[in-house]
Structure 1
Amino acid sequence: MNRVVAVLAVVSLLLAGCVSRQDVSGAQQAPETVPLSDLAGLTLQVGDQKGGTESLLRAAGALDGLPYQIAFSTFTSGPPQIEAATAGKIDFAITGNTPPIFGAASGAKVKVVAAYDGGGNGDQVLVHQDSPITSIADLRGKRIAVGKGSSAHGHILAQLENAGLTPDDVTLIFLQPADALSAFTQRQADAWAIWDPYTAQTAAQLPVRSIGQARDVTNGYWFGVASDQALADPKRNTALADLLVRFEKAARWAQEHPDQWATSYAQAVGLSPEVARVSQSRSLRLPTELDDQVVASEQKIADLFAESGQIASPAPDFNKWVDRRYNDALRPLLIATN
């Protein structure tokens, strides 16, 4: 029953929030910022996945002295975050590289406002240790569990293309992580395309092998995504600028204190210390420039989705879902380079 209610809630958000692509005109003029002292009564609604954003900010002390309030909401993956932002339920979230593309394809009322290099090492395609599958090419005719519109969805499409396969050559079973784990464990799926910390957690719990990872296959980026509604509001726009800088500082702290961060992350989200260490050692989101190269790499993924029939063709012009208003403020604290 709970699952049915959750599905209906997501569908209602999607129906309420989607517009046609023609309604999207790209980045809008940013409103004037306001003094931080004017934000005392503001609550910023922030989406989170597996506690990754909130736990990092708290561990680094980046929420100390916050001039506004933040209410964190937990989501299973990026696509529901995009839907919630479009519906005005959240102001901001950090997602993988594919949810913004699916959002653009449906005319989502959001903009990408920040970029993070996740490397792609933790975004993998898993099979059971005793499986006869040894390569992506062996997936022909097989069942692959994957979250629709997730970074893993983009990853598996790119892997299939590199192996000379198309989605028609396999059976994609669209499931959220918990249900995908169950299907994979019960051998109802032959492979599972998934991301950290689920990759590391599964490897610690089951005898599995990886037959592919996203590094050098897709761009490995994560993105800070804000709702158009929040970007148009002077107070929320100001708070978002402050939050993005705080996240950058927190990411730098985590990079400089990996053991302390892994311990804190494990405690915050209920992972074993070893799983947290493995996950964060290879999948820490490092702030990088939201530049033309990043946007072009996203357009390439969007084109792949359209060519493979996973979204409507032609692919959306991804640049229309990008707003670089915070670039100047974020540039001094960037960690990764494109």
Structure 2
Amino acid sequence: MNEELRQFIKECLEKGIDRESIRNVLLEAGWQERDLRSALAAFSDVDFPVAVPRPRPYLHAREAFLYLVSFISLYVFAFSLGTVLFGLIDHTFSNSLNRYGSSPSTGEATAIAAVIVAFPLYLILMRRLASAVATDPERRQSLVRRWLTYLTLVVGAGIILGDIIALLASLLTGDPTLNFFLKVAAVLLIVIPIFGYYLWDMRQAEDEVSISVARATPVLRALVIVAVVVVVATVGYSIYVIGTPGQQRDIRLDRERVNDLRRISNNIDTYLELNEEMPASLLDLLGPQYYVRSIEDPDTGAPYEYRILEDTDYELCAIFAAEIPEREVERRPFLETIWDHGPGRTCFMLTAKGEKG
């Protein structure tokens, strides 16, 4: 608030000049309506010889903590929801440009867990803080709240601007893809409602407008309901795509079995090179010169099956829990196809390569 304006209003009130006259003369002098509302609201409308200042908003440490946690949970939720949506887009609209790396299910699972935790926490904290503001509207002017809100607006504006620039750059380079457009839309779907809500809220706070509960509550309730529906639908579909916790456990165990068999195969090659003969059993690979981590199933503890067929041909067998996920099949290197498996007992016919030189 402009100190010169505040002092002028204070002196006028102490001289008994009514507020409407003060307002009109300041408008004629070129002051903005918003500044006048804020300055006049700083003094209580009570009958007293001198101007009585209103109490300035004071934020207790507990409320500051709640605001900080609520905004942190908002940032975690928004970032994680974006990660989940990106994963769904890549899965649903997979193409040759995004078939890289290993399965992102671990990252998606972390993002889903973050959404499940952060979104309800944010709603609960904001409901509690909104109730406190409804009881004492002056709390809307707290510095912590205002700074965090403006930080959110700056971040949101930066993301929106960056998305628009990236979109135009993609169009100018002639490489727009469906995945790219969908990801831009996903980011805007997350950022614009957050940006719009906090921009509206800060305009109300700066204008010192007393929001009618009857008018504001239905709008906010509708916004919350839409957000809950979108989040629940996104999380539900994501869990359907990446699989249930039990399915994910089976996939991880199968992945570990393949890794064990790959190490065993490599060390059979080393054994043949060092000893010029095939190992009689997998126990021969447990010496210090080998790097076999395990010759047993990670779940049951049963040893993997090993059988020499002819010369350097041999067979490795393991019992798998599930099919290889489709997206892992699409993204893995060609040489990894030798480890294709389905559920149940699967044997791999291999040939040791232990020639020196």
The two structures have a TM-score, normalised by structure 2, of 0.17
Higher relative contact order (CA 8 A, sep 6+): 1
Larger strand proportion of the pair: 1
Larger helix proportion of the pair: 2
